[in-house]
Amino acid sequence: MEGNSSAAPFSPSPHFTVADLTVVVVYFVLNLAVGIWSSCKVNRNTLSGYFLAGRDVAWWPIGASLFASSEGSGLFIGLAGSGAAGGIAVAGFEWNATYVLLALAWVFVPVYISSGIVTMPEYLQRRFGGERIRVYLSVLSLLLSVFTKISTDLYSGALFVQVCLGWNLYLSTVLMLAITAVYTIAGGLAAVIYTDTLQTFIMIVGAIILAVIAFNKIGGYHNLEEAYLNAIPSMIIPNTTCHLPRSDAMHLFQDAHSEDLPWTGMTFGLSVLAMWYWCTDQVIVQRSLSAKDLNHAKAGSILASYLKMLPMIVIIIPGMISRILYPDAVGCVDPDECARVCGATVGCSNIAYPKLVIELMPSGLRGLMVAVMMAALMSSLTSIFNSSSTLFTMDIWRRIRREASEKELLLIGRAVTVVLVVVSVVWIPILQSSNSGQLYIYIQSVTSYLAPPVTAVFLLAIFWKRANEQGAFWGLMVGLAVGLSRMTLEFAHPRPRCGISDERPFLVKDIHYLHFAAILCLLTAAVVVGISLRTRPPAESQVENMTWWTLHPEQPLPAPPVSVPRSLPENGFSEKAKEESQEGHSWACCCGPQVMKSEIPALKALKDRTASPFWARICNVSAVLLLCVNIFFYAYFA
């Protein structure tokens, strides 16, 4: 074994070199250049241009952006940490994406295009009528942003800086926020997609290089299982087995009664979470809606699915190797030792990947990996902050204060961003101590409590014409109440540390969060069906072109409405802003898309479902081939 895992937690080894710092600077300059170039490719002063990149994006940037959106710095750290703690089973989260990504392109996107919408809350509003479901989805998005996105991104980024530079975790968090505050990429979705493409390429190249070096350190893949099972820390807790690696670490499907990742939960509960994330989350769907046509959306999903198979080899297994090389640090179980190594008493598996980067990557490449992680974190945070403040301002505050002025709306948007940051930073200690210190498991468990009702409502909205607003709303409310109850119990009764008896309530101890996700989805669906059947059916206008069974590609659709505050002019801007626009100083350049009357027809491109039959057949054949490859990997590692 190499490396001494008992080294002081805040003394990085080795230190950054001049080559590392040079690569970091060059990378950020390149990233900014790509952002500026891509923002010039489309007209950002239209809805279609700003939010959907002109709906002119090819399949390969879409696929890369779908992958990069799901593989930020948080998942690099989280996947490797879960691999170090429990083996390859966590790869199921990545490989399951194949099926829902294909469902996104072949089922959901045609419905979204047919309905002529831009956002997911807007789809449910047009499908069911009324505004309360749209407002609820906005609130839920804010909750999920705090619990699973902002706080985890801040924590993972700060942890990376902590391991690399030896700084305190909270000092690193403040640093991340400070850099994020000044790091902006202008140009809307186009800039995000193309910079994501750059980051994806460099992340994959860097991760492959690190994986090759790591495999060489243990003598190759054939030594992995034996070496992992012997990766036992020197400091253990007597009369316990929590320091021993799982004997089924090389099995993708673990026992159905496993406390970690039971195969039943990975099959059914995970599919519910994946359906929510890949098919109903605004960040993901928005990328597919930006495609040139449906074939490009399908090809983008296929590329993203192939890329999602890589983390098994380049992130999860390197996490296991990190435990092999540094068992006392990555595999620690003694609370005092863990607190000394990484600042968390429940375990230090989250440092597995940054530990490898710092210890094994050669000078220069080490700086490149750190730059990619920080850039991915910062671009992610800026988009989350922007979308979250927009959701609150436009979907919640504007309905509370219908006469709010432009100045008030902008002020509220900035205030919401500050509140989100403060709440996320306060949440970090809870995040740090949850779920045995495994960041990825924390993200999935919180999602299991809040997302399944949304999955159920979207599925019924698309596939069951009889579903109505009353059923959908009360299904979401019941699901929220049950999910929040479980989440409250989870955080009130955390998993006991090694050597302490488990006194948690039955609902927490004996019902795995993935099993709970499947149960919650079924419960919500039952409520929606029951109430819908006992109330008035939806109007014909709420069904036509809004479900899978009522798609009519040949029938032109009306342009989707553009909602603006009542106190604003119909074009959404003050007279002063209009004058500045006419003078060539577009207010939208710094504050968002400019929505003028004449620009609303730009959304008509969203309704275009025409695609080449030849390339459609190529996409269908590629999808079948992809499924065969995916099933082979499942069978091989099961």
CA atoms of 515 and 122, how far apart (whole Å): 30
Mean pLDDT in residue range 422-449:
73
Span of 299-313, 335-349, 556-570, 609-623 with lowest mean pLDDT? 556-570
Whether residue 312 contacts residue 88, with contact meaning beta carbons closer than 8 Å, is answered with: yes
Q: What are the structural domains, with CATH classification, of the chain?
A: 18-637 (1.20.1730.10)
pLDDT score, position 107: 93
- The pLDDT, as a whole number, for residue 189 is 44
* 280, 272 Cβ separation under 8 angstroms: no
Phi, psi of 391 (to 5 degrees): -60, -50
Mean pLDDT of 406-432: 73
pLDDT band at 106 (very low <50, low <70, confident <90, very high): very high
pLDDT at residue number 611: 62
Helices (H) and strands (E) in the chain, counts: 33, 0
Convert the pLDDT of each residue in 271-290 to its tens digit: 999 999 999 987 788 778 87
**Distance of alpha carbon 122 from alpha carbon 137, whole angstroms:** 10
* pLDDT at position 5: 39
Position 448 scores a pLDDT of: 93
- What pLDDT shows up at residue 387? 66
Per-residue pLDDT band for 379 (boundaries 50, 70, 90) equals low
DSSP 262: B
In degrees, to the nearest 5, what angle opens at C-alpha 156 toward C-alphas 155 and 162? 85
Closest listed residue to residue 48, CA positions, set 609, 610, 607, 611: 607
| pLDDT above 80: residue 605 | no
CA dist list (Å): 142 to 239, 457, 469, 610, 611: 44, 19, 22, 35, 36
Q: Which residue has the higher pLDDT, 168 or 213?
A: 213
**12-16, 51-55, 242-246: least confident range:** 51-55
DSSP string, 190-248: HHHHHHHHHHHHHHHHHHHHHHHHHHHHTTSGGGHHHHHHT---SS--TT--TTSPPTT
Q: Report which listed range, 307-316, 394-403, 405-414, 558-567, is most confident.
A: 307-316
Average pLDDT over residues 604-609: 44
Looking at per-residue confidence, does 587 or 542 come out higher? 542
Predicted pLDDT of residue 531? 97
Q: Which of the residue ranges 9-18, 281-290, 454-463 would you say has the lowest mean pLDDT?
A: 9-18
Query: Residues with Cβ < 8 Å from 369, sequence gap 6 or more?
Result: 206, 207, 210, 357, 361
pLDDT score of 506: 80
Greater model confidence, 147 or 175: 147
Which two structure tokens, joined as six digits, stand for 630? 């995916």
Mean pLDDT (the chain) is: 77
